[in-house]
Amino acid sequence: MYLAWKEIRYAKLRYSLIIGIMLLVAYVVFMLSGLANGLSDGHKKAVSDWGASSIILSEDSNKVASASILTQGDLDRVTAKDKAAVGITASAISHKNDSGKTNISIFGAKPNSFVVPKIIDGRIYQADNEIIVSENLLTDDFNLGDQVLLGSSDDVFTIVGITKATTYSVVPVLYLNLDAYAQLKYGGQSSTEDSQKPITLIATKSDTSAITLKNEDETTKLTALSMNDFIQNLPGYAAEKLTLNAMIYFLFIVVAAVIGIFLYVMTLQKTTLFGILKAQGVATSYLVRSIIGQSLIVSMAGVVLAYLLSYLTRFVLPAAMPFTVDMAQWTLYGVILILVSMIGSLFSIRTVTKVDPITAIGGE
């Protein structure tokens, strides 16, 4: 390590370039990781906050919530602990006297069900024309007490409560009661009988193995999914996550190649020096360790700088950009980057071992 550090101090410019490249690649890795986690949370955060263990959908929905249509009466067909009927639809919200709209996800649920988040300001909805909204909707100039319109409906709703910031399908969330949800989504086609009013799914706190579904002699068959299975089937969730993670994994290969090529070229340039050191009795293993040590030093420096730069970048990103810092994941990726850079340095070992002292210093 002594030789590695002495050489880095001697050739500051060369190794600064390698550290700079490492910093940029690691920075891209951390930023992509933050975006992947942000998009992931943006799709699922609202449903993850429910604390549910299983989700019941219609069997013909192919595990996709937006394709599932159940009724409130189907709640009696599910034997499970702490079950709640939930209606989900995508829409837009606007002020009563303003044409500007903001995309939202609407959740219909009974106000006393466990899926409804805690109120941080105001109160829970009680009437059909009352709603509660997530805190991140306030950035679009929606506030407690505002009168708003939802979708194409002419009904006026009042914001009576604020919940903590959350998203579903990467847009803010609002909650209202099940009757209002049914009227909003299905209008005059909604049944007047509670048992026939439509919902999207049933959330429960029981594991799928502990749930009993009554599917005999029923037109609509039910299927139970674990929360993880349900989230994996959210539209766009798996595809976006897989794409961004694939880019991150490819960058690991790029790091190994770049560090390997740089150190290999620098090793070729130092063939004479290695020959002289070998002639003086320096062991080949010591020279190999110095190359690996150089890789360790420059990669650690690049990763640490990228780590700090990525963390600071989060404070200047726009609020609309989904970005979530996962320190544990960043640490793991940092370790992987250091390891692959050291693996890349192994390409130079054969060059060092093949150096002949006499030939290297110009002997016969």
Domain boundary at 169, 184, 219, which?
A: 219
Q: What is the pLDDT of residues 30-78, one digit of tens each?
A: 999 998 888 888 889 999 999 999 999 999 999 999 899 999 889 989 9
* 193 and 294 part of one domain: no
Three-state secondary structure readout of the chain = CHHHHHHHHHCHHHHHHHHHHHHHHHHHHHHHHHHHHHHHHHHHHHHHCCCCCEEEEEHHHCCCHHHCCEEHHHHHHEECCCCEEEEEEEEEEEECCCCCCEEEEEEECCCCCCCCCCEEEECCCCCCCEEEEEHHHHHHCCCCCCEEEECCCCCEEEEEEEECCCEECCEEEEEECHHHHHHHHHHHHCCCCHHHCEECEEEECCCHHHCEECCCCCCCCEEEEEHHHHHHCCCCHHHHHHHHHHHHHHHHHHHHHHHHHHHHHHHHHCHHHHHHHHHCCCCHHHHHHHHHHHHHHHHHHHHHHHHHHHHHHCCCCCCCCCCCCCHHHHHHHHHHHHHHHHHHHHHHHHHHHCCCHHHHCCCC
Confirm if 133 and 142 have CB atoms less than 8 A apart.
yes
Q: What is the pLDDT of residues 264-303, one digit of tens each?
A: 777 777 677 667 666 667 776 777 777 788 788 888 999 9
- 123-127, 190-194, 231-235, 261-265: segment of lowest average pLDDT: 190-194
The answer to whether residue 59 sits within a structural domain is no
* 20 and 111 part of one domain: no
| Pairing status of strand 147-150 against strand 70-71 | unpaired
* 115 and 164 part of one domain: yes
The answer to whether residue 140 sits within a structural domain is yes
pLDDT at residue number 21: 87
* Both tokens assigned to 339: 């390891």
pLDDT at residue number 345: 75
* 77 and 172 part of one domain: yes
* 211 and 243 part of one domain: no
Domain that includes residue 90, residue range = 70-219
The answer to whether residue 247 sits within a structural domain is yes
Select from 117, 83, 115, 88 the least CA-distant residue to 207. 83
Tell me the pLDDT band of 1, cut-offs 50, 70 and 90: low
- pTM for the complete prediction? 0.79
Confirm if 41 and 324 have CB atoms less than 8 A apart.
yes
Select from 280, 281, 260, 270 the least CA-distant residue to 352. 270
* 86 and 203 part of one domain: yes
pLDDT at residue number 310: 93
Crossing angle, helix 284-313 and helix 327-345, to 10 degrees?
A: 150
* 36 and 153 part of one domain: no
Alpha-carbon distance of 253 to 242, in angstroms, equals 17
- 176-180, 188-192, 229-233: segment of lowest average pLDDT: 188-192
Q: How many domains does the chain have?
A: 2
The answer to whether residue 63 sits within a structural domain is no
Select from 297, 256, 361 the least CA-distant residue to 6. 297
